[in-house]
Amino acid sequence: MGFQMFTARCVRASRDAKGTGVAGSPPPVNAASAVARLVLTPEAWTAVAQHAASRPSEEVCGMLIGAGEGGAARVARIIPSRNVADPSERGRRFLMEPRDVLDVERTLRGGPERLLGFYHSHPDGTAEPSALDTAYMTLWPATAWLIVPMGPMGAGGTARTPRAWLLEAEAASPSRTNAPPGAPGQAALRELVIEGLPTRCPL
């Protein structure tokens, strides 16, 4: 399927669904279905953890920027974004402004870096995709989703060991392009190995 079709669907979904997620055109990740590892630089992970810890009671979110090669998505840096969900809901979902994503894609166009995926935090301490996360991952197959569980609030909202997930590209096969987000299908959620985490979280 073409990216144009995908773009239209993503934008429509972002308007129709008041849920968690991001919208825009999908990032062109090379050989994305073969991606098995998410490689973080220490600086990238520290930035994610600090962003999450800055608002421990809310889901924070942002973009993972770098290069995809050799079965690995190599995150060189992150771009924090805004959670524009209703303030009363930010503790359990995030919503990125589509314009923020599109602006980043535009900036990266023609350069060596790509939008590899997204990160967000879970104040409830889980590191698995929620139902809303999974629904939106169907709009962004083959992109890495890094989920950062937060520690107990009493511990100061510490970012704990994250997990990374990817929805196999088959989830976006043309036969399913008219399916709503989260529709049952053959989508295969796969966990990625994360490399580059410190033995101890930096915060």
Q: Find tokens 């609030």 and name the residue.
A: 153
Q: Find tokens 């409830």 and name the residue.
A: 124
Would you say 14 or 130 has its CB closer to Zn ion?
130
- HEC string for 16-43: HCCCCECCCCCCCCCCHHHCCEEEECHH
Q: Please report how close the Cβ of residue 22 comes to Zn ion at its closest, in angstroms.
A: 11
Cβ neighbour number for residue 70 with a 10 Å cutoff: 13
According to CB under 5 A, which one of 39, 101, 133, 194 is a site residue for Zn ion? 133
Residue in the shown chain whose Cβ atom is closest to Zn ion: 133
Stretch binding Zn ion (CB under 5 A), from 84-92, 132-140, 174-182, 187-195: 132-140
130 touches Zn ion (CB under 5 A): yes
Would you say 29 or 150 has its CB closer to Zn ion?
150
81 touches Zn ion (CB under 5 A): no
Instruction: List Cα–Cα distances, 97 to 48, 86, 89, 138, 182, in angstroms.
Output: 18, 12, 15, 18, 20
Contacts with Zn ion, residue ranges (CB under 5 A)? 130, 133
